[in-house]
């Protein structure tokens, strides 16, 4: 009995992880339950033993992606002071690697446009992901209201640059756009 519970928990984690990668790569509407279950090596019928609906899985997948992203960003910058943490997060966020691999990147940039057309629960999952990024960038809270606005402005600018950079991948304007945002946010030429 215990082994079967452990196996069920491992299967559920595999489904969430696979869904997390697939929806970040291809978008929520473009990924079916069959796609996810097939990628895990299971049948669609097994899906409903683990989840009530695709929406429930999407919410869990966004949570998992958010925790994965924040964990990586925090680990990479936990010993730095606030300005260095923000700089490192911005550099990583606007990196070529992050632009090229939405499937393992921030769910906010990968899914913001999709989520605006999804359920209230899915929008709430993305809202929690945004709140985690803000908290990671300001772990002691913003010093002032102006600091909080700056964090939101920088986050929105970086997310927008990643979204547009991915949409315009392989074009001169896409590359210039991301490089311009990187220079503006990091104060470099």
Give the model's confidence band at 13: pLDDT under 50 very low, under 70 low, under 90 confident, else very high. very high
Nearest partner of 87 among 182, 186, 158, 178, judged by Cα: 186
Specify the pTM: 0.90
Average pLDDT for the chain: 91
Q: How many distinct structural domains can be found in the chain? A: 1
**8 A C-beta contact, residue 94 and residue 73:** no
| Domain, as residue range, for 87 | 2-186
pLDDT at residue 189 in the model: 58
As a whole number, mean pLDDT of residues 42-52 equals 94
Which CATH number is 137's domain given?
1.10.357.10
**Distances in whole angstroms, Cα of residue 177 to Cα of each of 161, 163, 182:** 7, 11, 9
| Tens of pLDDT, residues 138-150 | 777 767 888 889 8
pLDDT at residue 79 in the model: 62
The answer to whether residue 71 scores a pLDDT higher than 90 is no
pLDDT at residue 140 in the model: 73
Q: Give the Cα separation of 104 and 20 in Å (integer).
A: 8
As a whole number, mean pLDDT of residues 126-137 equals 92
pLDDT at residue 78 in the model: 65
Token pair of 147, please?
């600091």
Query: Of residues 178 and 141, which shows the higher confidence score?
Result: 178
């Amino acid at each position: 009995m215990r082994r079967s519970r452990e196996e069920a928990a491992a299967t559920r984690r595999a489904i969430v992880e696979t869904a997390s990668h697939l929806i970040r790569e291809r978008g929520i509407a473009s990924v079916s339950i069959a796609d996810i279950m097939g990628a895990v090596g299971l049948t669609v019928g097994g899906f409903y033993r683990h989840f009530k609906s695709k929406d429930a899985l999407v919410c869990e997948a966004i949570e998992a992606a958010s925790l994965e992203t924040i964990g990586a960003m925090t680990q990479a910058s936990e010993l730095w002071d606030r300005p260095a943490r923000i700089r490192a997060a911005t550099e990583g966020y606007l990196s070529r690697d992050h632009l090229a691999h939405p499937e393992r990147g921030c769910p906010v940039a990968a899914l913001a446009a999709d989520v605006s057309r999804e359920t209230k629960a899915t929008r709430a999952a993305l809202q929690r992901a945004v709140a985690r990024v803000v908290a990671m960038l300001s772990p002691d809270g913003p010093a002032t209201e102006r600091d909080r606005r700056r964090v939101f402005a920088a986050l929105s600018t970086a997310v927008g640059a990643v979204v547009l950079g991915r949409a315009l991948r392989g074009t001169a304007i896409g590359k210039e756009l991301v490089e311009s945002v990187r220079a503006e946010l990091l104060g470099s030429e």
